[in-house]
């Protein structure tokens, strides 16, 4: 699947945000930003206020809502709700040594940069490659979301771990019956 590099990494930021562990405590969103600090100008203050953390949760919920949607109409609805929170302002940068575009300016508030990048990255993949490309893991006990980059859109699990766990479980179930 040949989506462009920036779109690809931006959608991964969206997936990681939806899968972030919010039970980790009130600082979960700040911890998330620290783990993804390559998206922000060096020296950015990555501490979010409780209100901003709430907004990050809203963005994460909308990404998950797109992943669990069962039809194109549902995906469009939820994608548009997410896009309504975005303020795209394209910005050319070479912060990693290679010239590329960001969807948000580095002087925009941090949470606005996060939400805009997530919304644009997710929508770009959906409109270019189809609404079924964003899904939820089929493994029992796992509800992580994923982006399906397989050639024939056949992915069902968030990770190889979940895929093999499910294969083993299905095998055992067959043995029993």
Told to check if 142 binds Zn ion by CB under 5 A, we report yes
Distance of alpha carbon 134 from the chain centroid: 9
Told to check if 162 binds Zn ion by CB under 5 A, we report yes
Please identify which residue in 62, 122, 126, 144 interacts with Zn ion, judged by CB under 5 A. 144
Spatial distance between the Cα atoms of 159 and 123, rounded to a whole number of angstroms: 22
Instruction: List the structure tokens of 67.
Output: 């992943």
Please identify which residue in 10, 56, 137, 147 interacts with Zn ion, judged by CB under 5 A. 137
Residue 92 C-beta: closest distance to Zn ion, Å: 10
Tokens 């997410």 correspond to what residue? Answer: 82
Number of residues interacting with Zn ion: please give it, by CB under 5 A. 6
Told to check if 139 binds Zn ion by CB under 5 A, we report yes
Which residues have C-beta within 8 Å of that of residue 55, sequence separation ≥ 6? 85, 111, 115
What residue ranges bind Zn ion (CB under 5 A)? 137, 139, 142, 144, 158, 162
């Amino acid at each position: 699947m040949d989506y462009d590099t920036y779109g690809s990494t931006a959608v991964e930021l969206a997936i990681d945000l939806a899968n972030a562990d919010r039970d980790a405590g009130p600082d979960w969103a700040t911890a998330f930003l620290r783990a993804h600090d390559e998206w922000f100008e060096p020296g950015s203050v990555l501490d979010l206020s409780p209100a901003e953390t709430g907004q990050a949760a809203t963005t994460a919920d909308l990404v998950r809502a797109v992943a669990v949607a069962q039809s194109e109409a549902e995906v469009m609805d939820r994608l548009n709700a997410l896009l309504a929170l975005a303020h795209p302002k394209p910005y050319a940068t070479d912060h990693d040594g290679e010239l590329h575009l960001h969807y948000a300016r580095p002087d925009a508030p941090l949470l606005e940069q996060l939400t805009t990048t997530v919304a644009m990255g997710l929508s770009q993949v959906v409109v270019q490659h189809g609404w079924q490309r964003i899904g939820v893991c089929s493994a029992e006990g796992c509800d992580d979301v994923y982006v399906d980059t397989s050639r024939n859109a056949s992915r069902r699990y968030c990770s190889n771990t979940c895929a093999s766990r499910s294969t083993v479980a299905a095998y055992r179930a067959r043995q029993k019956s």
